[in-house]
């Protein structure tokens, strides 16, 4: 995809998520690989609802900022995914309400954050790792992602928000929306003794759709 088209698509998808309440104010950040191996990144303090394609932070393949506004303070988080997952073509981080709410509950499994309620949460995300709370902008978030050695495409930052890496910007946005949808279902069904997918059903999905599932 040409860079001009990618710039427009980043802003279009970000606005779509903002308009539907998946992140608000000036929260969240988004990045994508360019054809030359560089990155386009949402600037610090910007709203997903009002990103300007011309002002996106532009990094070259060596990681130097060469154009645009100052990037999000969560760059170490994004860079950790690009450095540890060779298939990563985009990274999205939101402050979505239901996933944050779910992250505060003591009974949540930190190694498998999302309950197996639908096939798509498994197919698009695999196992989601719940990471502990970090101060916003803390480089330790990137260190925590690096500590996973590229084994997870999605993490949940406790009391903060989800982060998803995928092959391209559309796949990353689709996956993080699936994460929030599954978290919303989990919160809606809490205390209702809902029937989730069985271990056998989960394993069948993992096998059929070649999902990253093992630790």
Per-residue pLDDT tens digits for 179-213: 999 999 999 999 999 999 999 999 999 999 999 99
DSSP assignment of the chain equals --HHHHHHHHHHHHHHHHHTTSS-TT--EEEEE-TTS-EEEPBTT--GGG--GGGSEEE-TTS-EEESSPBPTTHHHHHHHHHH-TT--EEEE---HHHHHHHT-TTS-TTS-S---SHHHHHHH-SPEEE----TT-THHHHHHHTTTT--SEEEETTTEEEEEESSHHHHHHHHHHHHHHHHHHHHTTTS------HHHHHHHHHHTT-----
Of the listed 3, 120, 170, 212, which one is catalytic?
A: 120
Q: Is this model's pTM higher than 0.95 or not?
A: yes
Active-site entry in 74, 177, 178, 180: 74
**CATH architecture of the region 3-208:** 3-Layer(aba) Sandwich (3.40)
120 is catalytic: yes
Active site residue 74: yes
Encode pLDDT of 99-140 as tens digits.
Answer: 999 999 999 999 999 999 999 999 999 999 999 999 999 999
């Amino acid at each position: 995809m040409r860079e001009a088209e990618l710039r427009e698509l980043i802003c279009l998808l970000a606005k779509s998520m903002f308009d539907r309440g998946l992140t608000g104010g000036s929260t969240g950040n988004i990045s994508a690989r360019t054809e030359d191996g560089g990155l386009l990144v949402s600037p610090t303090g910007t709203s997903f609802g009002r990103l300007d394609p011309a002002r996106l932070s532009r990094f070259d393949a060596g990681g130097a900022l060469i154009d645009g506004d100052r990037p999000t303070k969560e760059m170490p988080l994004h860079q950790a995914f690009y450095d540890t997952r060779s298939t990563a073509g985009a990274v999205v981080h939101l402050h979505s309400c239901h996933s944050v709410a779910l992250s505060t509950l003591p009974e949540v499994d930190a190694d498998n954050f999302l309950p197996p309620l639908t096939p798509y949460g498994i197919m698009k995300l695999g196992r989601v790792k719940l990471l502990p709370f970090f101060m916003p902008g803390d480089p330790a978030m990137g260190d925590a992602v690096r500590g996973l050695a590229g084994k997870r495409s999605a993490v949940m930052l406790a009391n903060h928000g989800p982060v998803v890496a995928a092959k391209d910007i559309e796949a990353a946005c689709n996956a993080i929306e699936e994460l929030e949808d599954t978290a919303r279902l989990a919160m809606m069904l809490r205390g209702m003794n809902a029937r989730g997918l069985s271990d056998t059903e989960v394993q069948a999905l993992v096998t059929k759709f070649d999902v990253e599932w093992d630790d």
